[in-house]
Structure 1
């Protein structure tokens, strides 16, 4: 078992993850883990759990908390990390495999001793991949969030700052921009991140944007804090204004020359930002038991058996392909000494990346590995077989998990491999996902509402995760109320306010935007037809085409993940995708007519 505190406090066995419910034993566990391998005094524990207004019986109540925590360990099968009573207090003993915080610090320590900047950067990236969201969001302790959480957050910021510094030093300025845009918006007063962002923009030939960023940070500091930018920031701004050379050659400079002004920088061809990083973990992963077991067995046996080293995971947008791939990659990591790399096959704007471009970045990321060490590549969101074929051919002894919305039959035909086509969760897996996030106490209090919530989300993994996150941050909201609220406007409410990209509408819209426009238009038309079973002869009139052409359209939409294949035919549209299609009707009258037709059909 492994404890996760770099995010919501959770316990995982590598297959399932349980996010602990807010409670006093949860606070107790958080404090012990934050101070793992040291004795934590009873007085400190009492202050963390009850604050300054402790009950008279605090010492006895602490003992009861310890008993409840041990019972929790028993329920979750925690054996190797007991809560020890020692003179003066309590202690938990844990190593890097049992606690993510220790694993994070161990990787950072190894990075400090690395013999090359490239190795240091890889180890730091690997360390940052352990962070999984808001720190200890389910731990209710004022003193913990006042004293401990900021200290942990500062460790992460220092590590991210080192990553960006290394990227700039190695000339990966475009790659640094990906991290720095997010860091500066999340921490607007952090001047070092702002300085690195301005430098990265300038070195990639974006002088005007660099100056605009300086104006933004200056305005923020003066309005919010009443101070001017630091001397380092002011000096950098002056260098940008003058078009000065900032130092050693980077990707924004040609070998043997200095950057002397915007005219020269304008002639530089800039590489795309690196989208090759260590594979991140998946909090609260549940379900897909058969797929997980099969993928683990195939990836770990491929080297000795001579079988194909490629596993394809395909399915609709938001169906959980990436989560499954990342989860399996972590389970088999001991079989791949060279590590696991997440290789994003599209740019942030959804455009496909060139195979040659990706191959160069993968080669750079694996530079310096020991001979014979195998790597696992997670080639995420592949657009077509041509894009990924050369990478598999060049991989040698490496293995790959390929995720794609498309079936990629030609890839399997030419390179071999195993295919897992994902569909929506069944009742049990959908319920278990909510249970892992919301906890047994909340789910068991409203079992019928929990089942209705599963149905309202259409058993769709992305929708379930979004609703679970919404409910987790609103512990006072009843599940039944959440179901009613969701039913009023599913698309608008299956989203997270602090992460606009985390929404069903955004994911489906982005996927639809990558289709051929004629195919995208056909999907919207098909989704608006009041038909539960889709056959070419029934759809052809609504599409304005002959039956053979309609049959081809249905097949291509199914291959792209927008239709569910019947075993065998006809095709079906998932309820959420149907709602999306109908809400994108050309006018309000059309939507009203279609909803009326749908209600009539159900009657």
Structure 2
């Protein structure tokens, strides 16, 4: 993958950039062959954020998030303006026009073309390659696109939010091109030439099975069957030891073909062609989806699902608004999606999922939510709801015959622009908040979800684990459900843990999890499936002082407690203790109130865990039966009795 591109020398895509920027590596300003790598600073983070969305308005709250994260100064808007001025002074030093960064209502925009920004140049080359599929020209164009990448992506940009939310998306674009190019090289018979590049990408991305498939196929086609089988053993060991899974079906079929000496036939080009992202608005972190995902192995909640379905479909002469609230990980989204599929015939206009919070729990900015909603309407209802000239006008209402799911709402104000007004339209809200004001002012139906009933827990674990295994150990399955506190999130994690370890009995798995459920109820390949991560994220959304009170309550309070019970432990007056309990209940960390409250057992175990964040006196107590320290690693074989 090192040949010169198959392209005319006068093609503008082949010309080296003149004055401009590079983001496909350390952030730099370039002038012909000269390159200046910028020092890590807040203006550098600002510039990187703008350049990742060239020619698009980047909202000011998005820029503030990229620069300061969650710890934004009280004068963040003024500080942002200062960063813009500092950036313009840097531009002046290198002869870049002052108006390159432009203020527009709601945010800022930076102007760029493929000749001035390597990211746009990369995407232009990939789009051009798409039009020349399976030809030498496509190979050359993709090689040229990859040659623009030159080291760790934005290594000099000190923005955790940017690296978390956007760098990974850019890497996916690159890996998609690498995969396609390797397919082209294999189909052209250049098996030996492709080996160094595949080994390099596997070193940095060992979990992508497709690259292993290409490497093993290249070795086999080069007559190196022993080396091919050695690489298969390497990936098998990696997947088993690091992720607790086995190679996928394609890798297994490839191994069997090599062992049996079967002819692989001519290399098949993957139908996957890398898609260059258009230069558009800042990425929509709402993950808006006009087609709802299915909920695998959904079990239980029959009464709640039936009630919600009746509320959504009971009358088509007026709109419907339903709120599902509950603790983090209690299964609000799963129930909403399951019920939405049950009532799909009632909503011929479509069903749309709009996530209202970012991965770090921060509320989705209004501008991003509005953009995602307009895009979803354009995809489901056609030109009746344009996304161009009306982009800055009032939000279009939920159309008649459509169901909108607002998932992970963290503020009441997020719901108000989406309140249903058309007859036959419906909105379902999932949230940890109680949203009493919404119920009082807009007449919504509210369902507060708790843990599953024991029989429902048994059914959920059985559905994921498989009936045969559960039937052999019904008592152990019920014991496992108890370890998980009948908490849907924990039940799914525990069942998946056992599913990937067929050599374990359910009893052995339950015993191992029981030793430290908070740390061990976690899947290493998905941070969303981790009790500690989910509960920790929920606690991080609460003001630090209230979080500390929560940890103290978990340590000192009984299973059922009142404000009077907690006042002395918290060292505050009864009235203040009552306000603390109500605040924590509103955040989804307590149930009940205002006279008596309870705390889910698994939440209490989390709060008492040595790794819980809080005052030392709250950290010193561990739940009964826990280990002396956290154990987050997943053993291949837990210790057997």
Q: TM-score, normalised by structure 2?
A: 0.52
Partner of 1:5: none
- Structure 1 residues 532, 220: CA separation in 2 closer, same or farther (over 3 Å shift)? same
Partner Cα distance (1:217, 1:286) in 2? 43
Partner of 1:390: 417
Answer with 507-516 or 588-597: which moved more: 588-597
Partner Cα distance (2:174, 2:294) in 1? 24
Give the Å deviation of 1:344.
Answer: 0.4
Partner Cα distance (1:465, 1:354) in 2? 31
- Structure 1 residues 273, 426: CA separation in 2 closer, same or farther (over 3 Å shift)? closer
> Residue 315 of structure 1 contacts residue 423 of structure 1 at CA under 8 Å; is this kept in 2?
yes
- Structure 1 residues 588, 519: CA separation in 2 closer, same or farther (over 3 Å shift)? closer
> Residue 183 of structure 1 contacts residue 193 of structure 1 at CA under 8 Å; is this kept in 2?
no
Give the Å deviation of 1:301.
Answer: 2.3
Partner Cα distance (2:499, 2:604) in 1? 28
| Equivalent residue for 2:581, pick from 548, 554, 564 | 554
- Structure 1 residues 438, 272: CA separation in 2 closer, same or farther (over 3 Å shift)? closer
CA deviations on 1:107-162 (whole Å, 9 max, x unpaired) are xxxxxxxxxxxxxxxxxxxxxxxxxxxxxxxxxxxxxxxxxxxxxxxxxxxxxxxx
Q: Does 1:280 align with 2:293?
A: yes
Give the Å deviation of 1:588.
Answer: 7.7
- Structure 1 residues 363, 592: CA separation in 2 closer, same or farther (over 3 Å shift)? closer
- Structure 1 residues 579, 596: CA separation in 2 closer, same or farther (over 3 Å shift)? closer
Give the Å deviation of 1:544.
Answer: 2.2
Q: Does 1:369 align with 2:395?
A: no
Partner of 1:338: 349
Q: Does 1:317 align with 2:317?
A: no
Q: Does 1:190 align with 2:179?
A: yes
Aligned 1:436-475 pairs, distance under 5 A: 436-475=463-502
RMSD: 3.7
Give the Å deviation of 1:188.
Answer: 9.3
Partner Cα distance (2:587, 2:463) in 1? 30
> Residue 321 of structure 2 contacts residue 420 of structure 2 at CA under 8 Å; is this kept in 1?
no
Q: Does 1:413 align with 2:440?
A: yes
Secondary structure of residue in 2 paired with 1:402: strand
Give the Å deviation of 1:274.
Answer: 4.9
> Residue 286 of structure 2 contacts residue 368 of structure 2 at CA under 8 Å; is this kept in 1?
no
Q: Structure 1 stretches of 5 or more lacking a match?
A: 1-173, 195-215, 228-246, 253-269, 599-603
Partner of 2:201: 220
> Residue 184 of structure 1 contacts residue 190 of structure 1 at CA under 8 Å; is this kept in 2?
no
- Structure 1 residues 596, 425: CA separation in 2 closer, same or farther (over 3 Å shift)? closer
> Residue 466 of structure 1 contacts residue 502 of structure 1 at CA under 8 Å; is this kept in 2?
yes
Partner Cα distance (2:509, 2:203) in 1? 42
- Structure 1 residues 181, 425: CA separation in 2 closer, same or farther (over 3 Å shift)? farther
- Structure 1 residues 348, 593: CA separation in 2 closer, same or farther (over 3 Å shift)? closer
Partner Cα distance (2:535, 2:506) in 1? 26
Q: Structure 2 stretches of 5 or more lacking a match?
A: 1-162, 184-196, 205-211, 219-275, 385-398, 627-641
Secondary structure of residue in 1 paired with 2:552: helix
- Structure 1 residues 183, 294: CA separation in 2 closer, same or farther (over 3 Å shift)? farther
Secondary structure of residue in 2 paired with 1:250: coil
**Number of residues of Structure 1 aligned to a counterpart in Structure 2:** 367
Partner Cα distance (2:486, 2:366) in 1? 35
Partner Cα distance (2:530, 2:546) in 1? 23
Q: Does 1:582 align with 2:608?
A: yes
Q: TM-score, normalised by structure 1?
A: 0.55
Higher helix share: 1
Aligned 1:223-262 pairs, distance under 5 A: 250-251=279-280
CA deviations on 1:20-51 (whole Å, 9 max, x unpaired) are xxxxxxxxxxxxxxxxxxxxxxxxxxxxxxxx
> Residue 375 of structure 1 contacts residue 399 of structure 1 at CA under 8 Å; is this kept in 2?
yes
Aligned 1:484-503 pairs, distance under 5 A: 484-503=511-530
> Residue 563 of structure 2 contacts residue 595 of structure 2 at CA under 8 Å; is this kept in 1?
no
Partner Cα distance (1:525, 1:514) in 2? 17
> Residue 313 of structure 1 contacts residue 403 of structure 1 at CA under 8 Å; is this kept in 2?
yes
CA deviations on 1:170-211 (whole Å, 9 max, x unpaired) are xxxx9x9699468569979525799xxxxxxxxxxxxxxxxx
Give the Å deviation of 1:594.
Answer: 6.0
> Residue 551 of structure 2 contacts residue 618 of structure 2 at CA under 8 Å; is this kept in 1?
no
